[in-house]
Amino acid sequence: MDKQYRHEWKHEISYSDLLTIRARMRAVAKTDPHTVNGCYHIRSLYFDNDSDKALREKIDGVNRREKFRIRFYNLDPSVIHLEKKSRLNGLGTKYSASLTAEEAQKIAAGDIDWMLTSGRPLVQELYCKMRFQGLKAKTIVDYDREPFIYGPGNVRVTLDYNIRTGLSSTDFLNPDAVTIPAGNAPIILEVKWDNYLPDIIRDAVQLENRRVGAFSKYAQCRIYG
């Protein structure tokens, strides 16, 4: 499951910054073809253990860390992915495996014995970590995303906002599951690329008085527990 680690920038930005970046990116990049009117909704279910290992490693800036989540888009359960995000030396990569809605619901409810014989290495890995490290479904993370893509450098620029949290994790496939604003969550600009970031994109995302940060939607959505 070797994969290339990608570079990543994150900036907390204002609404006026969002308008500026949106206009610039529309001029130089393409909108992700999977969007509806340039945007889509993301719902993720994040996993952690009773010691909040993933949360604490993020807050403490641990150099080598990982987190698991189940994700689907526009509240459409026909396409669901289990994902593992890994970080090493400031670079990130992501592994993914498909799930059915029934499988995703079973994992959320802690019904996991079937995972060991699923034939999907990532599903089997999550099974082992749920069984032996105590990982379990922890919280729902909802937000809206405007994504842009640029071929050279395999660049992806996203604008994320309306971040919401759900304290009940087992009903995350329910489109009517209750979520609430995740505190005073900012708008997030993310820039990801492979080996190099083209100058045209570097210039387009440049903002005065904005420094690269380490914002975590999962950490923000744990604000209430």
Please report the pLDDT score of residue 1 as a whole number: 47
Q: How far is CA 162 from its chain centroid?
A: 14
Q: Is residue 141 part of a domain?
A: yes
CA torsion sign for 203, 208, 213, 216 is negative
Please report the pLDDT score of residue 35 as a whole number: 92
3-class SS of residue 170:
coil
**pLDDT tens digits in sequence order for the chain, 225 residues long:** 456 789 999 999 999 999 999 999 999 999 998 898 999 999 999 999 999 999 998 888 888 899 999 999 999 999 999 999 998 888 899 999 999 999 999 999 999 999 999 999 999 999 999 999 999 999 999 999 999 999 999 999 999 999 999 977 888 999 999 899 999 999 999 999 999 999 999 999 998 876 677 789 989 998 877
Structural domain tally of the chain? 1
Q: Is residue 48 part of a domain?
A: yes
Q: Which domain holds residue 94?
A: 7-221
Q: How far is CA 213 from CA 61, 147, 168, 191, in A?
A: 11, 19, 29, 12
Q: Is residue 159 part of a domain?
A: yes
Q: Is residue 154 part of a domain?
A: yes
Q: Is residue 2 part of a domain?
A: no
Q: Is residue 1 part of a domain?
A: no
3-class SS of residue 178:
coil
Q: Is residue 158 part of a domain?
A: yes
Q: Is residue 124 part of a domain?
A: yes
CATH of the domain at 54: 3.20.100.30
**Quick check: 193 and 7 in contact, CB under 8 A?**
yes
